[in-house]
Amino acid sequence: MRMFFAMVLPLAFISSTALAQPTPQPTDSALDQQQQSKLAAWDGTWQCNPVGGGAAETSTTSLQGSYYVTRYTGKQSLTAYSRWDSIDRAYHTVRLLDDGRVQVFKTTSADPANGVWVAVFPERIKDRSVETTLSGNRMTWGDMKTFGIDCRKT
């Protein structure tokens, strides 16, 4: 039963708030709006190549309601919802994998595209922290030696 709540409640929360809330929120401070706008750097379509080879994947990010929604296609298809949390003072990303798994990442980095994201759910994620970098039209995720993804904006 606990697993049911861990998987369904985040989805229910995201679904209801994404549809019900416009961006920016009327209660968002100027700082909150500025922090949320930093996620706009992810906007667009990206062609991504896994480190060590493998089939290229595509990801597309757009603002939907009050979340930046990223859809990944390829070997591991998933949908990710990202947003600045004004109460926690952090960025959160909830990843819903097509196989039913749920992953939650968080960063308190000043720039979410150039920072370290930490896995907060589930606790058994192998690589608990992942570094992201964004420079021009190139974004990387991972250590780029043993694992990761190298993306170019198309």
pLDDT in tens, 122-135: 877 666 788 999 99
Statement: the pTM of the whole predicted model exceeds 0.75: yes
Q: Hey, is 71 helix, strand or coil?
A: strand
Position 20 scores a pLDDT of 38
143 within some domain? yes
Residue with tokens 């196989």: 99
39 within some domain? no
When divided into structural domains, the chain yields a total of 1
> With 90 as the cut, is the pLDDT of residue 1 above it?
no
38 within some domain? no
CATH code, domain carrying 51: 2.40.128
What is the arithmetic mean of pLDDT over 102-128? 89
36 within some domain? no
25 within some domain? no
140 within some domain? yes
| Domain limits for position 136 | 2-16+44-153
29 within some domain? no
Q: Hey, is 146 helix, strand or coil?
A: coil
Contact of 81 with 99, CB cutoff 8 Å? no
Residues 72 and 79: their CA atoms lie apart, in Å, by: 6
Contact of 93 with 68, CB cutoff 8 Å? no
Position 60 confidence tier, pLDDT thresholds 50, 70, 90? very high
